Amino acid sequence: VSERFSRFVLPFALVAAALAAWEAAARSGLWSKLLFPSLVNISREFVLFFSRPESLLEAWVSLTRALGGFALAAVVGVLIGMLMGRSKRVAEVLDPFFSGTYAVPKLALFPIFIFLFGIGSLSKVALVFLECLYPIVVMTYSGARNVNKVLLWSAQNMGASRAATLRRVVVPATAPFIFAGFRIAVPVAMIVVVITEMVSSADGLGYLVIYSLSSLRTDRMLAVVVVIAILGYLLDKAVVLARDRLIYWEKLDTYYV
């Protein structure tokens, strides 16, 4: 296999084969149109999605819920993680709590949140906040805890105040970890928004998915799925872009999961 073939053709081979197989299944007539709607229909619905103001509004609703919960979790999570990393006492109190409930699906709290915050956006934002909080706190904590001692000593030695040490040493050293936490949290935010909208909602993209399914418009449903996929992809790209601008001194080469 030549190098050029392997570099430029192979990356598209699998995707192209999958799409071709899909279209073949759609046209073969072996399965109902509901099972495999043709790619032509899906793309038509995809274009229609962007020409309808009401579906764009649903996308906007989902996006604001995801971003709202994520932004809250980012602020609170970084604060808590920093405090835990820089103060033994805070860590002693909070670390057992966060590591003990880390693996528990917070989604199970959703029904209670509905009673607490109502069926609208607030209960969803609250759940997004809670699910995003964990990765951000855990990553920030592990970063802030492991700041290079030599750097801290040098800063103190050169007479830096506590505030200056925090701003010039601790925060830059922790920043890559914070962004690793953001990178985990952003897809989580999308997942939670879509799930909660699928379970109980009258708006948002998750609701559109369920609604299209129950009206047997699988082509429309798949178009919405593509929209959600693109949104998730763009949000992840935005985090990476922000990271590369802010943490220009460290290249991203490992993919934290």
Residues that bind other proteins (CB under 8 A): 1, 6-7, 10-11, 13-15, 18, 34-35, 89, 92-97, 100-105, 107-112, 114-116, 186-187, 190-191, 194-195, 198-199, 206, 209-210, 213, 218, 221-222, 224-225, 228-229, 232-233, 235-236, 254-255, 257
Question: What minimum distance in Å lies between the beta carbon of 18 and other proteins?
Answer: 8
Question: What minimum distance in Å lies between the beta carbon of 159 and other proteins?
Answer: 33
Question: What minimum distance in Å lies between the beta carbon of 93 and other proteins?
Answer: 5
Considering beta carbons, is residue 155 or 188 the nearer one to other proteins?
Answer: 188
- Please state, in angstroms and as integers, the Cα–Cα distance from residue 223 to each residue in 8, 41, 53, 196, following that order: 28, 9, 16, 19
Dist. CA 81–CA 188, nearest whole Å: 18
Extract the runs of DSSP E, i.e. beta strands, from the chain: none
Considering beta carbons, is residue 75 or 230 the nearer one to other proteins?
Answer: 230
Which ranges constitute the DSSP H helices of 146-246? 149-157, 162-165, 171-199, 205-214, 218-246
Dist. CA 220–CA 42, nearest whole Å: 6
Considering beta carbons, is residue 82 or 186 the nearer one to other proteins?
Answer: 186
Question: What minimum distance in Å lies between the beta carbon of 92 and other proteins?
Answer: 5
- Please state, in angstroms and as integers, the Cα–Cα distance from residue 146 to each residue in 7, 80, 109, 120, 174, following that order: 39, 16, 33, 41, 8
Question: What minimum distance in Å lies between the beta carbon of 105 and other proteins?
Answer: 4
Considering beta carbons, is residue 29 or 105 the nearer one to other proteins?
Answer: 105
Considering beta carbons, is residue 60 or 256 the nearer one to other proteins?
Answer: 256
Considering beta carbons, is residue 75 or 119 the nearer one to other proteins?
Answer: 119
Query: Residue 118: which region, alpha, beta or left (left: phi > 0; alpha: psi -120 to 50)?
Result: left
Considering beta carbons, is residue 89 or 245 the nearer one to other proteins?
Answer: 89
Question: What minimum distance in Å lies between the beta carbon of 245 and other proteins?
Answer: 19
Amino acid occupying residue 28: S
Report whether 76 contacts 133 (CB < 8 A): yes
Dist. CA 168–CA 162, nearest whole Å: 10
Question: What minimum distance in Å lies between the beta carbon of 68 and other proteins?
Answer: 17
Q: What angle do CA 73, 74, 79 make, to 5 degrees?
A: 95
Report whether 214 contacts 37 (CB < 8 A): no
Dist. CA 57–CA 178, nearest whole Å: 31
